[in-house]
Structures are given as structure tokens and as C-alpha cells.
């Protein structure tokens, strides 16, 4: 400000200079404070609605003015489901990776759960949650959140499990030499080593939550209506009525939410996770985030970290780092604990036996024609799933490597990939179906396109994560020895991304089987388009209320996925753990 002349001007200038000025460093704190107030208000409003009485037959408005509220509801459900998925991933995968006895049961169980379609979970989960919270809106909301959870959690669990199994031997030996407790080993070695893969699979999980949102928010079971206000139900209502304008409004809103999440959540997390890359030479081209830079310069966050988070973290670390005496280590478990475990094992076996007997009784009532149709559908879906995996891998592997090697390209391609992976294929499928019908193709070809739209992103995101995790010193070593072309792929790229690629293929395979229930049976403008396949059998059984056939088809799908995983993907995991582990 230029110094004025005259008495009045001089007086006003002195008053101006004496006023307190707002420093730029306080701007992030004010923004976060305002965001915290808005979040607190939103929690109060949502809590009041969820704890209120159940609202049957919710009318879904197709007005664009309702989209901000619908998007907020959907984002909240996906966020809660993701938090539950992250907790489940850390606990389940950790136990499976370090307990040999539990691993023999937990990993096949994970294969089975991944292979069960979301549509097969829908009736049981929704009815159970409604019965658990009778007359409350919370029951339907909890059911939708758990169903979104089933569409998010499996690839995160497989990623963290694969990372724990591929930790270099020298890192484990260093942890033993320094006598790390399990908490120190988890926070200082295991979680940082798995951070990059877990971050990218978290992005894919949230994208998968958006993909299955239409089925989870728009569910009708006979006379009972469990529709929820949200972006998924908006898109489903628009797609069912053939309202192209509303579909475009819904997709535009979803893209806007995804872009905001990319800027304010995923890009800062990716830039932060870069420090966990195992390398001896720092890369000159690293991911950056303007949000992360603002947070680093926030004085309020620094004080909050110094006063609360850091002291609590130190106390927790000291508590779990207490040395254990040899007497405690060699302590024999009490007799009552042994008998309790045996009793629980017997009770579990009894429940399993009862369930198998009940399933056998149900399956005995099916007609041979229904079983024959399901068997033929199994073969058709198996061929479509593997063809979709092959087509997806052919373009996602080179594209993922290119994105992972270039942070500039990643800044552009990352949000585009999130948008493409998050937009529900069922919202785009009417356009795809109409184009295929005009050019002479049918749902047989269209189902493969829909499988690709729903599953190829699992491979792409894992390949990007694997490429970004390759140490910079290995890249520079290949450059020094002038390794290019096929030799570079054989010596550096394929070995470096192999564990991540296996995880991507496993989760993409399970996702393709899940997506078949939508790809092979589609409602559009009052007509049903269907083709031969196990997914179509499951959808038809759900529509007609034939729970016996639904159970049989679901079991056949689970058996097919588990068989392929045991014969193919388990062996690939073992190869990744032994031959392609990053160690000296």
C-alpha cells in the first residue's frame, strides 16, 4: 500500500497498518475448520435420518437439483464401507499371512467370498439387517453399506496378503536383529512395504463401490421395497426408464465427485506413499500434490500432531515394544483355553455339517433341466470371463507400465482411470447395447464388453502400483547397461510387476464373474435382454424368487472361481513369493 499524503491520509494509513492481518499460513487451518463444521453438521443430519423410522417405497426424483444430496448420501455409504474394508483387510490378511494353519482355511474362504456375486448377498444381508433394526432406516442403510463392502474388500485383502508374503528376507532378518515387537514390525516394516499396492487397490475398491452402487441402492424383493436415495438409485431409475438426459446428469455428477476425491484424497495419499518405496537412489520425478503441500505448511495440523497424535503414538509404541521374558514366551496355555478351542471347533463343524445337509436337501428338489441349464451357463460364462481377462491384459499391462514410469502421464491418466473405473457400466450399457444391435451384434458380444468395462481396471491399477514400486536404482541400472525393448521387459518390468499383476488378475477374475450377473441379464425400457450364462441364471432366479436355483447357481460359480484360483493363481502367488521377491 502506497503511503498517502495529508493528515487524514496519514491517520487512515496508521489505522490500516495497526489492524491485525490474516497470514497466509492460517488459510489451510480456516479451510479445514470450516470443512470440519460442515462435516459435523452433515453427520447430525444423516444420523437423524438413519435413526428415524423406516421409509418404505422411497420415490427417487430425477431432477438434477436432487443430485448433490444423492451424491452426498452415496459418498457417505462408500466411505463407511471403505473404512470397514480397510480394517478387515489389515486384520484378515495379517492373520492369514503369518498363521500357517489359519492360512489353509482363510485364503480358500477369501476365494469363495470373492466369487459370490453381490446379487446373491442381497436378499440375505438386506433381510438380516432389517430384522436386526426393525422399523428403523438404519437397517436398510446398514444392509446397503455391507453390500458395498462386499464389492470393495476382496482386492484390498489379496493385495495386502501378497505384499506381506513378498517382504524381502533381509528386512525380516533386520527386524529380528533389532528385536522388533509385532507392533513395531507392523508399523515400521510391513505396512510401509505394502503401502503403494494398498493405496492403488483402495482406489480400485472405491471405484468398485461406485460400480455396484446401482444394485445396492435400488433393491426390490417381491412386495418389499428397499430403495435408498442416492446416486446409484438415481442412475438405475434413469436407465430403467431410458431417460438419457438424466443418465448424463447422473454420470456428470459422479465424475465431479470422483475428480474432487482424486484431488483432495487420492493424489495427496499417492504423493505421501512415495516415501515408502524401497530404493537407494531417490527418483527425480515423483508424484506431487498441492493439497499435501498445504497440509504440510499448516501450523494448526502441526500443533495438533505434536500435542495429540505423536504422544499417543509414542505411548502405544512403548507399550507394545515392552520386552517379553522367556517365561512368558514359554508359558503353556491353560487347560480351559484348550478345551474351549476344541468346543468351538466341534460347534463349527456341527454347523457346517448342518448347512451341508440343508443344502443337499434343497438341491435335491431341483429339476434336471434347471441343473443342465446352469451347467451350460457355467461353461459360457467361463469362456466370456477368460476372454475378457485376455483382452483386458493385452492393453492394461503396457498402459499401466507407461503410466507408472511417468509421473506426468500419471497426473493425467490417474483421474481418467478412476472415472472410467467408477462409472457404472450399467449406466453406459444402454448406449453400448443399442450400438451393438444396430451393427448386428447381440448381448453375447455386449456381455463381453460389459465384463471388460467392469474388470479390466483391477489389472490396470495393480500394474501401475507395481511399476511405481520398482526401485529407481534398478531402473538406472538398466539404463546404464542399455537394456531396452524386450530385454528390459524380461529383466526389469515383468519381474518387478509380477506379484502385483497376479493380484490384479485374481481380483479381475472374481470381478468378472460378479459382473456377469449384470452383463448377461439386462432390463431396458421394459424389455429383458438375456444370453446364455450362469450370471443370467442367477439374475433370473432372483427375479422369479427361485431361491433353490439361486443357491445352486451361486455354489457353481463359487466352485468354478475357487478351482481356478487353486489350480492357477495359487501357483502364481507361490512363484511370486519365491522367484520374484525383491531382495539381494
Best-predicted range by mean pLDDT (12-26, 85-99, 153-167, 217-231): 85-99
Residue 222 has pLDDT above 90, yes or no: no
pLDDT band at 283 (very low <50, low <70, confident <90, very high): low
Best-predicted range by mean pLDDT (11-25, 128-142, 389-403): 389-403
For the chain, the structural domain boundaries read 41-285+366-578, 287-324, 335-361
Residue 89 has pLDDT above 90, yes or no: yes
What b-and-e string marks burial along 434-462, b requiring 16 or more CB atoms within 10 Å of the CB?
eebeeeeeebebbbbbbbbbbbbbbbbbb
Residue 6 has pLDDT above 70, yes or no: no
Higher pLDDT, 83 or 29: 83
Cα separation, 275 vs 231, whole angstroms = 36
pLDDT confidence of residue 564: 85
pLDDT confidence of residue 397: 92
User: CA-based Rg of the chain, rounded to a whole angstrom?
Assistant: 27
C-alpha distance from residue 129 to each of 45, 81, 142 (Å): 22, 15, 6
pLDDT confidence of residue 92: 92
| Per-residue pLDDT tens digits for 363-374 | 777 778 888 888
Cα separation, 50 vs 211, whole angstroms = 23
C-alpha distance from residue 171 to each of 176, 209, 288 (Å): 9, 35, 28
Residue 574 has pLDDT above 60, yes or no: yes
Residue 49 has pLDDT above 50, yes or no: yes
- What integer best gives the mean pLDDT of the chain? 77
Average pLDDT over residues 523-550: 77
C-alpha distance from residue 293 to each of 271, 272, 303, 534 (Å): 10, 10, 16, 50
356: how many CB neighbours lie within 10 A of its CB? 10
Residue 87 has pLDDT above 90, yes or no: yes
Residue 330 has pLDDT above 50, yes or no: no
Average pLDDT over residues 257-273: 84
Residue 552 has pLDDT above 90, yes or no: no
C-alpha distance from residue 370 to each of 159, 367, 538 (Å): 37, 5, 12
Q: Which of 272-276, 296-300, 322-326 has the lowest average pLDDT?
A: 322-326
C-alpha distance from residue 491 to each of 205, 255, 477, 478, 484 (Å): 31, 39, 11, 9, 10
H/E element holding 171?
helix 169-177
Please compute, for residue 329, the number of CA atoms within 13 A of its CA located in the half-sphere on the CB side: 6
| Per-residue pLDDT tens digits for 499-515 | 888 888 888 887 788 77
Residue spans of beta strands (DSSP E) within 183-322: 220-221, 224-225
| Per-residue pLDDT tens digits for 454-485 | 778 888 888 988 888 887 777 788 878 777 88
Residue 24 has pLDDT above 50, yes or no: no
pLDDT band at 4 (very low <50, low <70, confident <90, very high): low
Cα separation, 290 vs 196, whole angstroms = 19
pLDDT confidence of residue 82: 92
Higher pLDDT, 421 or 26: 421
Average pLDDT over residues 21-41: 63
| Per-residue pLDDT tens digits for 147-183 | 888 878 888 888 898 888 888 888 888 888 888 888 8
Q: Are 418 and 258 within 8 A, CB to CB? A: yes
pLDDT confidence of residue 584: 53
Residue 430 has pLDDT above 80, yes or no: no
pLDDT confidence of residue 507: 82
Report the Cα–Cα distance between both ends of the chain, in Å, rounded.
62
Residue 187 CA to its chain's centroid (Å): 22
Residue 313 has pLDDT above 80, yes or no: no
Residue 88 has pLDDT above 90, yes or no: yes
pLDDT confidence of residue 326: 45
pLDDT band at 394 (very low <50, low <70, confident <90, very high): very high
Q: Which conformational region is residue 61 in: left (phi greater than 0), alpha (psi within -120 to 50 degrees), or beta?
A: beta
Residue 160 CA to its chain's centroid (Å): 12
* Percent of the chain's residues with pLDDT above 90: 4
CA quadruple 299, 302, 308, 311: dihedral sign: negative
Amino acid at each position: 500500500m502506497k503511503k498517502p499524503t495529508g493528515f487524514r491520509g496519514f491517520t487512515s494509513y496508521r489505522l490500516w497498518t495497526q489492524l491485525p492481518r490474516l497470514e497466509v499460513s492460517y488459510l489451510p487451518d480456516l479451510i479445514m475448520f470450516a470443512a470440519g463444521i460442515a462435516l459435523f453438521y452433515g453427520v447430525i443430519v444423516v444420523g437423524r435420518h438413519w435413526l428415524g423410522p423406516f421409509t418404505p417405497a422411497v420415490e427417487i426424483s430425477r431432477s438434477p437439483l436432487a443430485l448433490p444430496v444423492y451424491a452426498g448420501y452415496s459418498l457417505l455409504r462408500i466411505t463407511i464401507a471403505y473404512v470397514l474394508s480397510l480394517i478387515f483387510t489389515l486384520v484378515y490378511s495379517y492373520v492369514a499371512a503369518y498363521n500357517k494353519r489359519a492360512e489353509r482355511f482363510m485364503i480358500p474362504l477369501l476365494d469363495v467370498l470373492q466369487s459370490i456375486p453381490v446379487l446373491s448377498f442381497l436378499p440375505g444381508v438386506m433381510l438380516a439387517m432389517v430384522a436386526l433394526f426393525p422399523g428403523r432406516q438404519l437397517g436398510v442403510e446398514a444392509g446397503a453399506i455391507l453390500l458395498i463392502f462386499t464389492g470393495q474388500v476382496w482386492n484390498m485383502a489379496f493385495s495386502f496378503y501378497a505384499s506381506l508374503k513378498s517382504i524381502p528376507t533381509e528386512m525380516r532378518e533386520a527386524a529380528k536383529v533389532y528385536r522388533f515387537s509385532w507392533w513395531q514390525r507392523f508399523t515400521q516394516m510391513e505396512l510401509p512395504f505394502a503401502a503403494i499396492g494398498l493405496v492403488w487397490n483402495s482406489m480400485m475398491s472405491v471405484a468398485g463401490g461406485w460400480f455396484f452402487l446401482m444394485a445396492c441402492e435400488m433393491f426390490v424383493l417381491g412386495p418389499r421395497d428397499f430403495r435408498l436415495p442416492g446416486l446409484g438409485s438415481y442412475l438405475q431409475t434413469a436407465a430403467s426408464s431410458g431417460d438419457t438426459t438424466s443418465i448424463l446428469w447422473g454420470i456428470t455428477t459422479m465424475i465431479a465427485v470422483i475428480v474432487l476425491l482424486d484431488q483432495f484424497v487420492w493424489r495427496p495419499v499417492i504423493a505421501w506413499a512415495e516415501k515408502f518405496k524401497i530404493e537407494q537412489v531417490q527418483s527425480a520425478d515423483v508424484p506431487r500434490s498441492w493439497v499435501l503441500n498445504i497440509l504440510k505448511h499448516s501450523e494448526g495440523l502441526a500443533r495438533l500432531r505434536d500435542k495429540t497424535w505423536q504422544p499417543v503414538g509414542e505411548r502405544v509404541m512403548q507399550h507394545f515394544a515392552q520386552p517379553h521374558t522367556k517365561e512368558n514366551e514359554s508359558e503353556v496355555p491353560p487347560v480351559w483355553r484348550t478345551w474351549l478351542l476344541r468346543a468351538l471347533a466341534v460347534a463349527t463343524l456341527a454347523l457346517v455339517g448342518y448347512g451341508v445337509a440343508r443344502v443337499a436337501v434343497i438341491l435335491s428338489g431341483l429339476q434336471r433341466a434347471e441343473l443342465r441349464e446352469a451347467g451350460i451357463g457355467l461353461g459360457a460364462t467361463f469362456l466370456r470371463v477368460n476372454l475378457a481377462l485376455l483382452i483386458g491384459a493385452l492393453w492394461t499391462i503396457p498402459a499401466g507400465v507407461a503410466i507408472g514410469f511417468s509421473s506426468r502421464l500419471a497426473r493425467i491418466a490417474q483421474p481418467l482411470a478412476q472415472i472410467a473405473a467408477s462409472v457404472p457400466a450399467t449406466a453406459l450399457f444402454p448406449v453400448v447395447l443399442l450400438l451393438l444391435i444396430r451393427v448386428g451384434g447381440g448381448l453375447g458380444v455386449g456381455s463381453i464388453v460389459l465384463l471388460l468395462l467392469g474388470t479390466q481396471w483391477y489389472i490396470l491399477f495393480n500394474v501401475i502400483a507395481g511399476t511405481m514400486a520398482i526401485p529407481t536404482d534398478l531402473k538406472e541400472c538398466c539404463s546404464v547397461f542399455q537394456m531396452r525393448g524386450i530385454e528390459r521387459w524380461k529383466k526389469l518390468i515383468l519381474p518387478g510387476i509380477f506379484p502385483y499383476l497376479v493380484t490384479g488378475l485374481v481380483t479381475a477374475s472374481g470381478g468378472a464373474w460378479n459382473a456377469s450377473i449384470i452383463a448377461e441379464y439386462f432390463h431396458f425400457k421394459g424389455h429383458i435382454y438375456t444370453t446364455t450364462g450362469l450370471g443370467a441364471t442367477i439374475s433370473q432366479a432372483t427375479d422369479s424368487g427361485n431361491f433353490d436355483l439361486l443357491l445352486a447357481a451361486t455354489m457353481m460359480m463359487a466352485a468354478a472361481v475357487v478351482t481356478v484360483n487353486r489350480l492357477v493363481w495359487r501357483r502364481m502367488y507361490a512363484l511370486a513369493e519365491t522367484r520374484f521377491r525383491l531382495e539381494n
